[in-house]
Amino acid sequence: MTRFVQIVLIAGVLLAETACTAVNSGVGGYFGLDTDLKISFVADADINPDDNKKPSPLYIRMYELKSTKMFNKADFISLYERDSEIIGADLIGVQKLKPLKPGDVRDDFLVLDDKTTYVALYAEFLQYKDAVYRVVIPVTSNNVITSSARVRISGNALKIIDGSSADERESDNAKPASKTTRPAAKTLTKPSFKGDEI
């Protein structure tokens, strides 16, 4: 296959993905649909160890963002103590999700603000110094097809996972949320500000 043909094929795939996202958002906006996100959590048995290496429940904050710039620049303590101040104008809303216990597997269905373009998760690990404590999930506003992502917690690491087999690919970076059918029920209320729990 020539290089020209390869370039044309790659460009075609990228254009198709962009078009699907635009149609998804445009149609949803026309009909006034919510911006939905399904997050599937998989917590290993060893999550969030304390000083004695005993696993502990993990609290996770969910941020709705216009941009990830300030969130990604901030360190753990700055976000823990002054998240609203640090993120500033990029912040749309934040809420604390129900704590994850060691071994938990659950799905959270979220209804987001229409201005949200990213959802960021921040894990309040007890041993935070070497932890992977944040991930970012891009979302499509007013989506006809619900965006979805799978997140695994193992030890002191929060990771987006792709696939369901034993050889799942893992990444610390943001991955585009996959698409799933819109749930008929179990949606949550619009996120409130810091301190509220689902």
**pLDDT of 179 higher than 80:** no
Q: What are the sequence ranges of the domains in the chain?
A: 3-180
pTM, entire model: 0.68
Q: Beta strand pairing status for 146-154 and 35-43?
A: parallel
- Span 12-24, mean pLDDT? 41
Q: Beta strand pairing status for 157-162 and 118-123?
A: unpaired
CB-based contacts of 179, cutoff 8 Å, min separation 6 = 24, 143, 145, 146, 147, 148
Residue 154 confidence (pLDDT): 98
- Span 73-77, mean pLDDT? 97
**pLDDT of 75 higher than 70:** yes
Which alpha helices (H) appear in 36-118, and where do they start and end? 69-73, 76-87
Band of residue 144 on the pLDDT scale cut at 50, 70, 90: low
Contact (CB, 8 A) for 169 and 162: yes
**DSSP conformation class of 125:** -
Residue 146 confidence (pLDDT): 74
- Percent of the chain residues past pLDDT 90, beyond the cut: 58
**DSSP conformation class of 39:** E
| 57 φ, ψ (degrees, to nearest 5) | -60, 150
Of 48 and 181, more confident: 48
Class of domain 3-180: mainly beta
Q: In the chain, where do the E strands start and end?
A: 35-43, 60-65, 91-96, 105-112, 118-123, 134-138, 146-154, 157-162, 169-171, 178-180
Min mean pLDDT across 101-115, 128-142, 171-185 is at: 171-185
- Span 105-120, mean pLDDT? 94
Residue 33 confidence (pLDDT): 61
Mean pLDDT computed over every residue of the chain: 76
Query: SS3 of 54, please?
Result: coil
Identify which of 138, 121, 120, 151 has the alpha carbon closest to the alpha carbon of residue 177.
138
Residue 103 confidence (pLDDT): 98
Band of residue 134 on the pLDDT scale cut at 50, 70, 90: very high
Residue 51 confidence (pLDDT): 95
Quickly count helices (H) and strands (E) in the chain: 3, 10
Of 167 and 122, more confident: 122
The most confident of the ranges 10-14, 108-112, 121-125, 139-143 is: 121-125
Tokens (6 digits) for 135:
């991930």
- Span 134-160, mean pLDDT? 89
**pLDDT of 153 higher than 90:** yes
Of 168 and 90, more confident: 90
